[in-house]
Amino acid sequence: MAGIVAYGVTTDERPLLERALGRDHDLRCLDLILNADTVATATGRRIVCSSVNDVLDETVLRALAEGGTELITQRATGYNNIDLDAARKLGVAVSRVSFYSPYSVAEFAWGLALAVDRRIPRSVTRTRDFDFRLNGLMGRDFHGRTAGVLGTGRIGTAFARIAAGFGMRLLGHDVAPNEECEALGMEYVDRKRLFTESDLLSLHAPLVPETYHVVDAEALALMKDDAILINTSRGGLLDAHALVETLRAGRLEGVGLDVYEEEAGVFFFDKSLEVMTDDTLARLMTFRNVLISSHQAYFTRDAVGQIVRTTADNIADHLAGRTSDNTLVPAAHRHDAGSAADGA
């Protein structure tokens, strides 16, 4: 039995984790974000199940290693919040969920696109006040327009397949073409053409140094005044300050954001009784054509169930001394089942 602590656990996710891990391990589920202020809560825990908002820099990783943690298994695909070099140096193994339902995110991206285009949130707010006028609610058909997909991996491909179903022209940009997307009729173009020609631009690229602020002021200036921008991937892909300036200039038909670069410590928490100190986020909230959700695109029973099952598999692999495609940093050495960190 291994001592496990999971961070950033939602109410809906907790029973899934408890069923998958609680019977065979000493599991503790916390809704805390793991960072330098909370790392003491992991002391004596052999395994840490992290979330994308946890801060796993060298300081935190060192404290985890000194407290007996030997595996960090991230309940997400992205891992830019983890200092892998530091983990390797400290002998802490790291794994992730390299794949889960791409449809969860792709479908949610389309939900945002449709909600923004057809002014659904504004309409619902009005009708709750028994105001049934149509003034200001006119949208447009996506059929016949151009969908741009930045990043055509599994999620981008699922998004493109839905776009094809709407009868849209498809443009894509990635380091290499995807045959599935090409079979849908997608034309791969450079970034300039992608930004210039897209009526709907959806971001599905990973956050790496090459894609940081890939949608910056220059890219936004290239976009059509009536384009719609959707980001359900990583907040760092988009320069939010530049987006505010673009919107202030009266450009872009609408924006749907499920992620935000500075979301750590804000998203997944109730901040309704606090002053919002992030001026950029607060300003984005004031635009009527901007819809912001709280990093929930992945949050379906199918996707979260798959994430939990993969996390359980990652833990089983580690305890058995195995690696897999989910391994980012392999264990420095085998630990026996009687580790002093277990169950503490």
In whole angstroms, give the CA distance from residue 76 to residue 209.
19
- Which of 119, 154, 234, 335 is catalytic? The answer is 234
The two counts, helices (H) then strands (E), for the chain are: 12, 13
In whole angstroms, give the CA distance from residue 110 to residue 90.
42
What are the structure tokens assigned to 172, written together? 């894509």
Concatenated DSSP letters of 243-287: HHHHHHTT--SEEEES--TT-TTTTTS--TTS----HHHHHHHT-
- Which of 154, 283, 295, 318 is catalytic? The answer is 295
In whole angstroms, give the CA distance from residue 242 to residue 319.
46
- In the chain, alpha helices (H): 14-17, 58-66, 84-90, 102-117, 120-128, 154-165, 179-183, 191-197, 217-222, 240-248, 279-285, 301-319
Query: How many CA within 13 A on the CB side of residue 165?
Result: 8
Contacts of 2 (CB under 8 A, 6+ apart): 25, 26, 46, 47, 315, 319, 339, 342, 343
Q: Could you tell me which residues are beta bridge partners of residue 82?
A: 56
Identify whether the C-beta of residue 61 lies closer than 8 Å to the C-beta of residue 85.
no
In whole angstroms, give the CA distance from residue 310 to residue 101.
12
Identify whether the C-beta of residue 60 lies closer than 8 Å to the C-beta of residue 38.
no
In whole angstroms, give the CA distance from residue 256 to residue 111.
9
Q: Give catalytic status of residue 173 as yes or no.
A: no
CA angle 88, 155, 304 (to 5 degrees): 70
- Which of 96, 263, 283, 318 is catalytic? The answer is 263
Q: Give catalytic status of residue 335 as yes or no.
A: no
In whole angstroms, give the CA distance from residue 172 to residue 53.
29
Q: Give catalytic status of residue 295 as yes or no.
A: yes
Catalytic residues: 234, 263, 295
